[in-house]
Structure 1
Amino acid sequence: MMAPAAEALGVRLKVLAESPDVCATQVIPQAQVGDYRDLATLREFAAGVDVVTFDHEHVPTEHLQALEADGVVVHPGPRALVHAQDKIVMRTAVDRLGLPNPRWAPVGSEAELAEFGDEIGWPVIVKTPRGGYDGKGVRVVHSAAEAADWLESAAGSPLLAEAFVPFNRELAAMVARSPMGQAAAWPVVATKQVDGVCREAIAPAPNLPDELAARISGAALKLAGDLDVTGVMAMEVFEVADENGKASFVINELAMRPHNTGHWTQDGSVTSQFEQHLRAVLDLPLGETAARADYSVMVNVLGGEYPDLYHPYLHVMAHDPGIKVHMYGKEVKPGRKVGHVTATGTNLDDLLERARHAADYFTGTITE
């Protein structure tokens, strides 16, 4: 999805793909197939580009440090990216900056997890510090024994234990920052998660107090600045009620790349997150982040029982010419994110109904 923005800017992209048929190779002619976990492969790839950036956080930190030592420009750099790669590192940074964290602790044994749970109360959220996404690597446990298998397989490396947060809804703040220090923020969005996967995003988050929206955006900008982030960063948060019953928030996770919660910007913002990420990593002036409409709605298309995603275009586009369809060229698998649809306008209920109808038709949940 970064390819159209790159084309408009006259920027050539080159992709390191794990296989020759992944979605990026369908739109980026310069595609090298290789393993991002292999340093020699990364060095060969990096020799042919001006800037290295990412569409996921799984490239080993030590490999990125080696590329920087070679003189390669890496954005975001490994010192920033590790905060999106390792949730314990992230929690430590959030505490250091005085931003709102849930209660948390690294735990390396059943005894340590039991002590944490008994102190703050059960249930407890247990996470693998690295590698988890879309609900993977996250478990709700009611006793230490329920995480015994994870603790054993961690082989002495700590897991992350967090307090279970009773939240009102989930929100996300997208920001961007360039090497020159310029930063920009999009409106805070409300998100809906189903089985750990983002299903919907609404921009701006409806009924979010201006003061709270400013605090959330300010926290995201503070993190991006302190961590020296270059590129787009997503900060996912829980909206909660504080001890006085006033709306507040706690930080859930970070992502340092274009993110699902920012897909609405393709059609709903003056500058999309994909163009903004390119501007940032190339140290170009950042674009305007204002919304183009009162509301923008994004609904993910999740893989269902029907592998054909092309013929549904006939219904979706004829039924609602105002819907924008974005498909990824991925093989359809049940529950897999294979695309998304967006709608923009003034009537939020109408936008949600239209976008959900389109997404459900692609999935096969509805047939008319």
Structure 2
Amino acid sequence: MAAALAAAAAAAAHHHRLSSSSPAARTRVVHHHHRRRRSSSLSFSAPASSHGCPRGARALRRAAAGDGGGNGSGGVSTGTVDPAAASSPSSSLEELYRSCATWTWRGMRVNYLVRGEGPPLLLVHGFGASVGHWRRNIGVLSESYTVYAIDLLGFGASDKPPGFSYTMETWAELILDFLDEVVRRPTVLVGNSVGSLACVIAAADSSRDLVRGLVLLNCSGGMNNKAIVDDWRIKLLLPLLWLIDFLLKQRRIASALFERVKDRSNLKDILLSVYGNKDAVDDELVEIIRGPADGEGALDAFVSTVTGPPGPSPIALMPAVAARSPVLVLWGDRDPFTPIDGPVGRYFSALPSELPNVTLHMLEGVGHCPHDDRPDLVHAKLLPWLDTLPSTTALTPVSSPAA
């Protein structure tokens, strides 16, 4: 969603009178070392709940899957469920937030949730989102799996250190350490947008059998659009993107633009532009994105993500990743950020014909966030695919987390 917020920032820059901007808050720069280490510790702010049922409710899941055989190499899903009805079942946000816990990583607090019993899944959100963005998936998935959902550093209820330089590699390291220290079992990673890319990088960097499988929901080509320079649409926008970079590095301007971007009305318009199912864009979704943006350090996270290096390309990493783990790719065909006819979309469309370990399903009428846009279509493809994965055991040996 970084592209939409950057576009909104550009529009705000065009209309905003700088003379009316309020003075920026004082900046405190903190230098961090990104060298990996195994010295993280677990500290719980709330007991992690387990409300799931034992694994094996096959009949119910097959009924939910409808025509969704998950073993093919492609196909288009339209579903027969009314979009409004498809969007209605969701876990209570208040209940989700109450059951969250805190893991300390490199001295910083990382918010996460765990629910259910069975083989583990880790849900990794996209730009500007958080655990709450999986509101329509956690309940269904936790019936048969242990579902972990994490707030990446800089988002949701996780720490947002002022002056921190956010990178795709840092988020990938966080994911691997979380698997090693908290989950402690081979895990299927499920990511959306930049969360997908973070999962790809984590899978590529894992030197142990931490990753059991990979599910990519409209994977981004980079942390921001600088990575996709061979798309003619991005080439046209490059001067504007560099201007946005320059403006956002001016604290006073960045603060004014960020306030406009997170305005409820503006934010809802952004979300409507990236969702195919407009009924899914409710007030709750707006608050899921907007709420954490009011916290200390949120502006720094926004600026660092939009202006920072794009990170590794999934195109360069996927062959090695798919050689080690099965991959399911679900792609909404109405995505304006990573369109199916763009470089990244075209690459993933062709991938099943090149790599037999990759399964692709196009989701018709679905936007950039399929799991929240049309969760019924996502579950219809995801659940049968998960059933095809071999069972696993705990990691051996595993490092013991510090007290």
Which has the larger strand fraction? 1
Which has the larger helix fraction? 2
* Alignment TM-score, normalising by the size of structure 2: 0.30
